[in-house]
Amino acid sequence: MEYTRIDPALPTVGRWISLNGRFPGNSTLRKLKYEKLTALDLSGKVLDLGGGNKARYLDLLPSGIEYNSVNIDPEMDPTWLVQPGEKLQIEDGSFDSCISMSTLEHVYDTKFLISEIFRVLKPGGQAHISVPWMFRIHGHPDDFTRASPSWWKTTMQEVGFRKTAVLPLVWGRHSTASTISNFRGLLKKTRNHITHLRDVLYARCVFFRSNGRYQGRRGQRICNVALGHFITASK
C-alpha cells in the first residue's frame, strides 16, 4: 500500500479570519475538519457514515451528489438506521465515495466498520474520514478510540486499501493545549484568538523556510499533538 503523511499548512492570520468567517461558533478541530471537507472533490453516490439529513455540515457538501447516510441515531434522519456492530445493509461496490466526520471514535470495533466502508465502495472509490486525536472524551453515546497515524496506516493496509494519506488537523501547540482545557475562565473568546495568534507568530519565526507547511522534526513534533487526523484512502 502507498502511504503518505501530509504536512499540514502553517497557521496564518488570514486563514484564521477565513475559518472564523466560514465556520463561526465551531471548535478549532471542527473548523479544520470543515476546511478539509469543503476542499474535497465529491461526485456521484456519496455515503455519509455517521451523518443524516440533519447533519450540520450538509450545506458544505457539493451540489449534485447523490447523498445517502448511515446512523444509529434516528433523530439524525439517516437513509439507513443501524445498530452498533451491525453489518451495513448495502450492496458491495455501491458508492463512489464515503465520508465519516468524527464518528469512528464512537465505534468499538473500528476495523470492522472500516472493512464495511471498503466493501461498499466501488473500485477506485475513496473514503474520507476525520477523527480526533488530542481531544477530550465526548460520548455519543460512547467514546472508545484515539488512533495514531501508524494505526491508520496498518489498518487501512490490512483492510485492503491501495493508497492512504493522513493529514494532521493541527493549528499549533498553544491552541491544542488550550482546546484540551476548553478555554475555561474569563474572556474566553479573546483568549481563544490570542492563543491562535501565538501559534501564527511561532510558525512565522520558526518555519519561515518551510514552504508554508509544518515540516521536518519540529513540524513532526507539532503534528504529534494534532487535535485530529483526516484520512483519505483509495480502494
Extended beta strands in the chain, E state: 2-5, 45-49, 66-71, 80-81, 95-101, 121-132, 163-169, 228-234
Instruction: Kindly report the CATH number assigned to the domain that includes residue 62.
Output: 3.40.50.150
Residues 11-26 pLDDT 10s:
999 999 999 999 999 9
129 pLDDT above the threshold of 90: yes
Residues 132-171 pLDDT 10s:
999 989 887 899 999 999 999 999 999 999 999 999 999 9
Q: Is residue 200 part of a domain?
A: no
Contact 176, 225 (CB under 8 A): yes
3 pLDDT above the threshold of 90: yes
Residues 4-61 pLDDT 10s:
999 999 999 999 999 999 999 999 999 999 999 999 999 999 999 999 999 999 999 9
Residues 195-227 pLDDT 10s:
999 999 999 999 999 999 999 999 999 999 999
Q: Is residue 193 part of a domain?
A: no
pLDDT top residue among 183 and 233: 233
Tally of helices (H runs) and strands (E runs) in the chain: 7, 8
What's the domain count of the chain? 1
Q: Is residue 138 part of a domain?
A: yes
Q: Is residue 217 part of a domain?
A: no
- The rounded percent of the chain whose pLDDT value lies above 90 is 90
Kindly report the number of other CB atoms within 10 A of residue 218's CB atom. Answer: 13
Residue-level pLDDT at 187: 82
Contact 144, 105 (CB under 8 A): yes
Q: Is residue 209 part of a domain?
A: no
Q: Is residue 55 part of a domain?
A: yes
pLDDT band at 183 (very low <50, low <70, confident <90, very high): low
Q: How far is CA 235 from CA 42, 47, 65, 161, in A?
A: 15, 15, 20, 5
Q: Is residue 50 part of a domain?
A: yes
pLDDT top residue among 131 and 180: 131
Residues 82-124 pLDDT 10s:
998 899 999 999 999 999 999 999 999 999 999 999 999 999 9
∠ CA 45-51-57 to the nearest 5 degrees?
A: 90
Contact 130, 48 (CB under 8 A): no
Cell numbers 470492522 correspond to 112
How much is the mean pLDDT over the chain? 95
Q: Is residue 204 part of a domain?
A: no
What does the alpha-carbon distance between residue 194 and residue 187 come to, in Å, rounded to a whole number? 11
Residue-level pLDDT at 30: 96
Enclosing domain of residue 114: 2-9+25-170+226-234
